[in-house]
Amino acid sequence: MDFCNVRFLLSAHTNQQLPPPVYPEIAFAGRSNVGKSSLINRLVGRANLVKTSAKPGKTQSLNYFQVDDGCCLVDLPGYGFARVSRQIRQSWQGLISGYIETRPTLACVVVIIDLRHELKQLDRELIDWLRYLGKPLLPVYTKADKLSRNQQEKNAAALDAGLSLTSGERLLFSAQTGQGVDGLRQRLTAFVQAGRGVVQTAGLPATDPI
Protein backbone atom coordinates (compact mmCIF):
# COMPACT_ATOMS: atom_id res chain seq x y z
CA MET A 1 0.00 0.00 0.00
CA ASP A 2 1.31 3.45 -0.89
CA PHE A 3 0.94 5.48 2.31
CA CYS A 4 2.26 8.54 0.49
CA ASN A 5 -0.84 8.62 -1.73
CA VAL A 6 -2.98 10.25 0.94
CA ARG A 7 -5.54 13.00 1.26
CA PHE A 8 -7.47 14.63 4.07
CA LEU A 9 -11.04 13.35 4.19
CA LEU A 10 -12.90 14.95 7.11
CA SER A 11 -12.89 15.91 10.77
CA ALA A 12 -15.54 14.33 13.00
CA HIS A 13 -16.55 16.01 16.25
CA THR A 14 -19.36 13.54 16.93
CA ASN A 15 -19.98 9.90 16.07
CA GLN A 16 -22.67 11.00 13.61
CA GLN A 17 -20.06 12.82 11.55
CA LEU A 18 -17.98 9.67 10.91
CA PRO A 19 -17.79 8.55 7.26
CA PRO A 20 -19.63 5.36 6.23
CA PRO A 21 -17.59 2.36 7.46
CA VAL A 22 -16.18 1.21 4.11
CA TYR A 23 -12.38 1.01 4.37
CA PRO A 24 -10.28 -0.65 7.07
CA GLU A 25 -9.23 2.06 9.52
CA ILE A 26 -6.01 2.52 11.46
CA ALA A 27 -6.46 4.73 14.50
CA PHE A 28 -3.62 6.52 16.27
CA ALA A 29 -4.04 6.91 20.02
CA GLY A 30 -1.84 8.17 22.80
CA ARG A 31 -1.33 10.82 25.42
CA SER A 32 -1.65 14.41 24.45
CA ASN A 33 1.52 15.72 22.79
CA VAL A 34 3.16 12.28 22.54
CA GLY A 35 3.65 12.70 18.79
CA LYS A 36 0.62 11.08 17.12
CA SER A 37 0.25 13.68 14.39
CA SER A 38 4.02 13.78 13.76
CA LEU A 39 4.05 9.99 13.40
CA ILE A 40 1.31 10.15 10.77
CA ASN A 41 3.17 12.86 8.86
CA ARG A 42 6.30 10.70 8.80
CA LEU A 43 4.29 7.60 7.83
CA VAL A 44 2.84 9.38 4.78
CA GLY A 45 6.06 11.24 3.94
CA ARG A 46 4.60 14.74 4.30
CA ALA A 47 5.90 17.41 6.62
CA ASN A 48 2.54 19.01 7.26
CA LEU A 49 -0.41 16.84 6.28
CA VAL A 50 -1.48 16.79 9.92
CA LYS A 51 -1.08 19.82 12.15
CA THR A 52 1.33 19.30 15.03
CA SER A 53 2.04 21.52 17.99
CA ALA A 54 4.39 21.88 20.92
CA LYS A 55 1.26 22.68 22.98
CA PRO A 56 -0.75 19.64 24.12
CA GLY A 57 -4.35 19.29 23.01
CA LYS A 58 -3.89 20.30 19.37
CA THR A 59 -5.97 17.49 17.85
CA GLN A 60 -9.53 17.76 19.17
CA SER A 61 -11.56 15.77 16.65
CA LEU A 62 -11.25 12.46 14.80
CA ASN A 63 -9.32 13.46 11.69
CA TYR A 64 -9.67 11.10 8.74
CA PHE A 65 -7.13 10.64 5.95
CA GLN A 66 -7.76 8.38 3.00
CA VAL A 67 -4.80 6.30 1.75
CA ASP A 68 -4.92 5.00 -1.85
CA ASP A 69 -8.02 2.89 -2.28
CA GLY A 70 -6.81 0.92 0.69
CA CYS A 71 -7.54 2.33 4.13
CA CYS A 72 -8.17 5.35 6.32
CA LEU A 73 -5.83 6.78 8.93
CA VAL A 74 -7.62 8.28 11.92
CA ASP A 75 -5.79 10.77 14.13
CA LEU A 76 -7.46 10.67 17.56
CA PRO A 77 -7.42 13.45 20.16
CA GLY A 78 -4.85 12.82 22.88
CA TYR A 79 -5.77 11.79 26.39
CA GLY A 80 -4.42 12.77 29.78
CA PHE A 81 -4.23 16.49 29.19
CA ALA A 82 -5.31 18.21 32.39
CA ARG A 83 -5.65 21.79 31.21
CA VAL A 84 -8.94 21.40 29.34
CA SER A 85 -12.21 21.51 31.25
CA ARG A 86 -13.61 18.30 32.68
CA GLN A 87 -16.64 18.56 30.42
CA ILE A 88 -14.54 18.76 27.26
CA ARG A 89 -12.37 15.94 28.51
CA GLN A 90 -15.37 13.72 29.09
CA SER A 91 -16.88 14.44 25.70
CA TRP A 92 -13.56 13.61 24.00
CA GLN A 93 -13.33 10.41 25.96
CA GLY A 94 -16.88 9.50 25.01
CA LEU A 95 -16.12 10.14 21.35
CA ILE A 96 -12.93 8.08 21.37
CA SER A 97 -14.21 5.17 23.44
CA GLY A 98 -17.45 5.00 21.43
CA TYR A 99 -15.43 4.96 18.22
CA ILE A 100 -13.06 2.23 19.39
CA GLU A 101 -15.78 0.04 20.87
CA THR A 102 -18.25 0.14 17.99
CA ARG A 103 -16.44 0.93 14.75
CA PRO A 104 -16.83 -2.21 12.59
CA THR A 105 -14.00 -1.27 10.22
CA LEU A 106 -11.36 -0.63 12.90
CA ALA A 107 -8.37 -2.70 11.71
CA CYS A 108 -5.74 -1.57 14.23
CA VAL A 109 -5.18 0.88 17.06
CA VAL A 110 -1.62 2.19 17.06
CA VAL A 111 -0.87 3.09 20.69
CA ILE A 112 1.90 5.66 20.77
CA ILE A 113 4.02 5.90 23.92
CA ASP A 114 6.95 8.19 24.74
CA LEU A 115 10.08 6.04 24.91
CA ARG A 116 11.77 8.53 27.23
CA HIS A 117 9.40 8.10 30.15
CA GLU A 118 8.27 5.43 32.56
CA LEU A 119 5.04 3.67 31.75
CA LYS A 120 2.04 5.86 32.59
CA GLN A 121 -1.12 4.41 34.05
CA LEU A 122 -3.33 5.78 31.26
CA ASP A 123 -1.22 4.05 28.60
CA ARG A 124 -1.43 0.78 30.47
CA GLU A 125 -5.17 1.16 30.90
CA LEU A 126 -5.69 1.84 27.19
CA ILE A 127 -3.72 -1.26 26.20
CA ASP A 128 -5.49 -3.43 28.79
CA TRP A 129 -8.85 -2.16 27.58
CA LEU A 130 -8.01 -2.85 23.90
CA ARG A 131 -6.94 -6.37 24.86
CA TYR A 132 -10.15 -6.85 26.83
CA LEU A 133 -12.17 -5.72 23.80
CA GLY A 134 -10.11 -7.99 21.54
CA LYS A 135 -9.09 -5.11 19.25
CA PRO A 136 -5.92 -5.44 17.15
CA LEU A 137 -3.26 -3.10 18.51
CA LEU A 138 0.29 -2.06 17.74
CA PRO A 139 2.29 -0.28 20.47
CA VAL A 140 4.86 2.19 19.08
CA TYR A 141 7.50 3.76 21.33
CA THR A 142 8.32 7.15 19.86
CA LYS A 143 10.80 10.03 20.23
CA ALA A 144 13.61 7.45 20.06
CA ASP A 145 15.91 10.13 18.60
CA LYS A 146 16.11 11.75 22.03
CA LEU A 147 17.95 8.70 23.43
CA SER A 148 21.15 6.80 22.69
CA ARG A 149 20.72 3.34 21.13
CA ASN A 150 21.69 1.81 24.43
CA GLN A 151 19.16 3.85 26.38
CA GLN A 152 16.48 3.10 23.74
CA GLU A 153 16.88 -0.63 24.36
CA LYS A 154 16.84 -0.21 28.14
CA ASN A 155 13.71 1.95 28.20
CA ALA A 156 11.95 -0.24 25.65
CA ALA A 157 12.62 -3.33 27.77
CA ALA A 158 11.11 -1.58 30.81
CA LEU A 159 7.98 -0.58 28.86
CA ASP A 160 7.71 -4.11 27.42
CA ALA A 161 7.82 -5.57 30.92
CA GLY A 162 5.16 -3.16 32.21
CA LEU A 163 2.87 -3.94 29.28
CA SER A 164 3.59 -7.69 29.08
CA LEU A 165 4.88 -7.35 25.51
CA THR A 166 7.68 -9.08 23.63
CA SER A 167 10.03 -6.91 21.56
CA GLY A 168 8.50 -8.34 18.37
CA GLU A 169 5.07 -7.01 19.28
CA ARG A 170 6.00 -3.32 19.27
CA LEU A 171 8.11 -0.87 17.29
CA LEU A 172 10.66 1.80 18.13
CA PHE A 173 10.07 4.98 16.18
CA SER A 174 11.20 8.55 15.60
CA ALA A 175 9.22 11.08 13.62
CA GLN A 176 12.33 13.23 13.58
CA THR A 177 14.76 10.74 11.99
CA GLY A 178 12.37 8.26 10.37
CA GLN A 179 13.65 5.38 12.49
CA GLY A 180 11.11 2.56 12.35
CA VAL A 181 9.00 3.97 9.54
CA ASP A 182 9.56 1.06 7.13
CA GLY A 183 8.63 -1.44 9.81
CA LEU A 184 5.54 0.61 10.65
CA ARG A 185 4.39 0.62 7.01
CA GLN A 186 4.85 -3.14 6.78
CA ARG A 187 2.96 -3.86 9.98
CA LEU A 188 0.10 -1.52 9.10
CA THR A 189 -0.23 -3.04 5.62
CA ALA A 190 -0.64 -6.46 7.26
CA PHE A 191 -3.31 -5.11 9.63
CA VAL A 192 -5.18 -3.54 6.70
CA GLN A 193 -5.09 -6.82 4.78
CA ALA A 194 -6.41 -8.71 7.79
CA GLY A 195 -9.03 -5.99 8.34
CA ARG A 196 -10.19 -6.15 4.75
CA GLY A 197 -11.07 -9.81 5.26
CA VAL A 198 -13.21 -8.85 8.25
CA VAL A 199 -14.94 -6.00 6.37
CA GLN A 200 -15.77 -8.27 3.43
CA THR A 201 -17.07 -11.02 5.67
CA ALA A 202 -19.20 -8.51 7.57
CA GLY A 203 -20.64 -7.29 4.26
CA LEU A 204 -21.71 -10.74 3.05
CA PRO A 205 -25.44 -11.50 3.08
CA ALA A 206 -26.44 -13.72 5.96
CA THR A 207 -27.03 -17.32 4.91
CA ASP A 208 -30.25 -19.04 5.90
CA PRO A 209 -29.92 -21.61 8.65
CA ILE A 210 -30.07 -25.15 7.25
* Footprint on this chain of ligand GTP (rule: CB under 6 A): 30, 32-38, 52-54, 56-59, 78, 142-143, 145-146, 174-176
H helices within the chain, ranges in order? Answer: 36-44, 86-102, 121-133, 149-163, 181-203
Residue 33 binds: one of Mg ion, ligand GTP, none (C-beta under 5 to 8 A by kind): ligand GTP
Measured in whole angstroms, the distance separating CA 53 from the mean position of its chain's CA atoms is 18
Write out the DSSP string of 117-158. Answer: SPPPHHHHHHHHHHHHHT--EEEEEE-GGGS-HHHHHHHHHH
Binding to Mg ion by residue 41, rule CB under 5 A?
no
Minimum gap (Å) between residue 36 Cβ and Mg ion: 5
The window from 1-9, 36-44, 148-156, 163-171 that contacts Mg ion (CB under 5 A) reads 36-44
Q: Which is nearer to ligand GTP, 12 or 198 (CB)?
A: 12
Q: Which of residues 48-77 bind Mg ion (CB under 5 A)?
A: 58-59
Is residue 44 within 8 A of residue 4, CB to CB? The reply is yes
Q: Which is nearer to ligand GTP, 147 or 192 (CB)?
A: 147
C-alpha 102/C-alpha 22 separation (Å) is 14
| Out of 23, 28, 37, 172, the residue judged to bind Mg ion by CB under 5 A | 37
Looking from the CA of 63 toward its CB, the CA atoms found within 13 Å total: 20
Given CA atoms 63, 70, 30, 133 in this order, what sign does their dihedral have? positive
Binding to Mg ion by residue 33, rule CB under 5 A?
no
Q: Which is nearer to Mg ion, 25 or 160 (CB)?
A: 25
Given CA atoms 108, 36, 167, 132 in this order, what sign does their dihedral have? negative
Minimum gap (Å) between residue 209 Cβ and ligand GTP: 48
C-alpha 184/C-alpha 172 separation (Å) is 9
Minimum gap (Å) between residue 148 Cβ and Mg ion: 27
Residue 142 binds: one of Mg ion, ligand GTP, none (C-beta under 5 to 8 A by kind): ligand GTP
The window from 37-45, 111-119, 174-182, 183-191 that contacts Mg ion (CB under 5 A) reads 37-45
Applying CB under 5 A, the residues found at the interface with Mg ion are 36-37, 58-59
